[in-house]
Structure 1
Amino acid sequence: MIGNAVTVIRIATGEEREHRGVAPAKNKTVQELGRAGGRKCAESMTPERRAEIAKKAAAKRWKNLEWRLSALTAKSTETIIAEGQTSE
């Protein structure tokens, strides 16, 4: 545990480079089966059901984006206030 903390400090101070490692190889057969299953599932749905799923996914993405933007704006506001740069 302490060894990990020391490594983090060394990386943060630039004494050591971060080692990301190699991503594990993906099984091509499993990937193809996944794609085939997704296609079959989509083919069996009505266009209305596919549209419903797509709208739900888009709403979720926009909700996440709005949350990130509001958090970023709040952080920027806090920084401005902390630095004494208010517009008043």
Structure 2
Amino acid sequence: MLTMTDTAAEAVKTIVSRVPEAGDGGVRIRDTGAQNGFELSVAPAPEPQDTVVVTDGARVFLDEAATTALDDRVLDAELGQDGSVRFALGSQA
């Protein structure tokens, strides 16, 4: 199952807090196919078929295809001084 670093968890919480209508939702990752990669969006709740990954209060919702594709991955993030966030995927050790 996908895991998150502490930095990624902090980034997810920061992003969700910027969207008032998201409440205590999370970031949803949808697999758009090999050509297009993944789509991230803020969602107030997971879809019924989503897998929910929680780390330190940060919630990530994975659609069925993303759950499979990211099974052995680690989500990391880099936080910019300007408030920007850049996510990266690594392999679990």
TM-score after normalising by structure 2? 0.18
Q: Which has the higher helix share?
A: 1
Who wins on radius of gyration, i.e. which is larger?
1
Q: Which has the higher strand share?
A: 2
Give the structure, 1 or 2, with the largest relative contact order (CA under 8 Å, sep 6 or more).
2
TM-score after normalising by structure 1? 0.19
